[in-house]
Amino acid sequence: MSNAPLIAVVDDDEAIREALDDLLRSVGFRCRPFVSAEDFLALADRTAIACIILDVRMPGLSGLELQERLNAEGGGHPPILFMTSYADETTRQRALGGGACDVLGKPVDAHVLIASLNRAIAEG
């Protein structure tokens, strides 16, 4: 399983991180959870990450602010899928305008998430 794509899950909700870890591993991905955007930014080498599943609203840096930071770093970054309980059109447009592959509302259907994840990795 060491060649399986590595998915970063950035969400302040422990239950969400654990549920996504279980789901992703059950379909053959590896998962690396992060409790915050700052925790993710502290990772020095992000080259192994195939995709980021990112919450919009978190304490500290929001998911949208993390996306902006990654875009500003240049050099490209893994594709981003947003998952949010706040899937209003403004948030959706800002995320997609910043290059996100998809914005999924919570609770998300597992099949929809996996299909979106596979598309993001294939296009990434």
Angstrom CA distances, 124 to 50, 51, 77, 93, stand at 8, 8, 9, 19
For the chain, how many structural domains are there in total? 1
Residue 95 CA to residue 77 CA, distance in Å, equals 15
Residue 1 forms part of a structural domain: no
What pLDDT is recorded for position 124? 77
Tens of each residue's pLDDT in the chain, 124 residues: 478 999 999 999 999 999 999 999 999 999 999 999 999 999 989 999 999 999 999 999 999 999 999 999 987 899 999 999 887 899 999 999 999 999 999 999 999 999 999 999 999 7
What pLDDT is recorded for position 75? 78
Residue 34 forms part of a structural domain: yes
Residue 61 forms part of a structural domain: yes
Residue 36 forms part of a structural domain: yes
Its domain, for residue 82, covers: 6-123
CATH of the domain at 111: 3.40.50.2300
Residue 43 forms part of a structural domain: yes
